[in-house]
Amino acid sequence: MKVFLLLTLSLCLSGQVIGQAKRIHLPNYRLADSTNYWQQWAKSNECKVGLEPLEKSPHPFHFRISSTGGEIIEIWQQSETFQGTFTEWVKDADNDLRPFERFYFQHYALDTSQAVAISELIKNSAILQLPSDESIKGWQQGFDGVEIVIQYSDNKNYYLKNYWTPSSQNGLAEAQLVQQFQSKLLELANATIVRKSFRDNIPFPSFINDNGVATIRAVSYEDYWKHKRDVYRYVRSMKREKE
């Protein structure tokens, strides 16, 4: 397990250079202002938690599923087998951080049997053939809820698809497929154990993901002001980097 408190985001630039040219496959959004939004969201957040963009992956197959609830599971083909990681992340919800962000995250390595089982789940489901939600008749959109972003790549292609809150789609068959796939995936990755381990170590008194749900914990007076001092130091350091 690797644990990080990210203190600087200066390396996460929107203009990263892609290491190898791949054909990019993105959803055909109906709304012009939605174009590439989830690709940019995924690249930005993944950089901030220490993950390389999938467009740069050198592996013959690389799969990653992310959610605005703060979880990223990925596997990649390594020679004749598979490896993978489970990443959990949160953002410090302290208002004095604005306009900056501070992430806390952990990477948990999946063992080979887990990664192989997930590869079989992907192969035996229709998840790679499912189009993005914009192209599925009857898939509703909204502002609350959870967005699921699926990315995968091979040696020549990169794909991204996104799905807004499958649980709110009134039994739509494609939404059930996404739900069942994600549920089994989380089971294979021991998500319940991982989540507890992660939450037990979050250093922030209040934290949030990108699903709009904030958690506020009771802390002592001393811990509250210790955290405030850390926030003020962080903001000063970020302002110096921008000068």
The model's pLDDT over 59-87, given as tens digits with 9 standing for 90+, comes to: 999 999 999 999 999 999 988 899 999 99
Which pLDDT does position 142 carry in this prediction?
85
Query: What pLDDT, on the 0 to 100 scale, is given for residue 166?
Result: 95
- Convert the chain into a string of H (helix), E (strand) and C (coil): CEEEECCCCCCCCCCCCCCCCCEEECCCCCCHHHCCHHHHHHHHHHHHCCCCCHHHCCCCCEEEEEECCCEEEEEEEECCEEEEEEEEEEEECCHHHCCCCCEEEEEEEECHHHHHHHHHHHHHCCCCCCCCHHHCCCCCCCCCCCEEEEEEECCCEEEEEEEECHHHCCCCHHHHHHHHHHHHHHHHCCHHHHHHHHHCCCCCCEEECCCCCEEECCCCHHHHHHHHHHHHHHHHHHHHHHC
Alpha carbons 71 and 88: distance in angstroms, whole number: 5
Question: Which ranges of 34-170 would DSSP assign to H, the alpha helix?
Answer: 37-48, 112-124
Dist CA 110 CA 108 (whole Å): 6
CA distance 183 to 175: 12
Q: Given pLDDT bands bounded at 50, 70 and 90, which one contains residue 229?
A: very high
Query: What mean pLDDT do residues 81-110 have?
Result: 95
Top pLDDT among 11 and 91 is at 91
Query: Residue 35 has what pLDDT?
Result: 53
- At 49, phi and psi to the nearest 5? -110, 20
Percent of the chain at pLDDT above 90? 74
The separation between the first and the last C-alpha atoms of the chain, rounded to the nearest angstrom, is 35
- pLDDT at 32 > cutoff 60: no
Distance CA 132, CA 76 (A): 22
CA distance 66 to 53: 12
When pLDDT is cut at 50, 70 and 90, the band that residue 241 belongs to is: confident
pLDDT-based confidence at 2, cuts 50/70/90? low
Q: pTM for the complete prediction?
A: 0.89
How far apart, in whole angstroms, are the C-alpha atoms of residue 22 and residue 158? 6
Residue 39 pLDDT class (50, 70, 90 cuts): confident
Among the residue ranges 52-56, 162-166, 186-190, 232-236, the one predicted with the least confidence is 52-56
Question: What confidence tier does 18 reach under pLDDT thresholds 50, 70, 90?
Answer: very low
Total residue length of the chain: 243
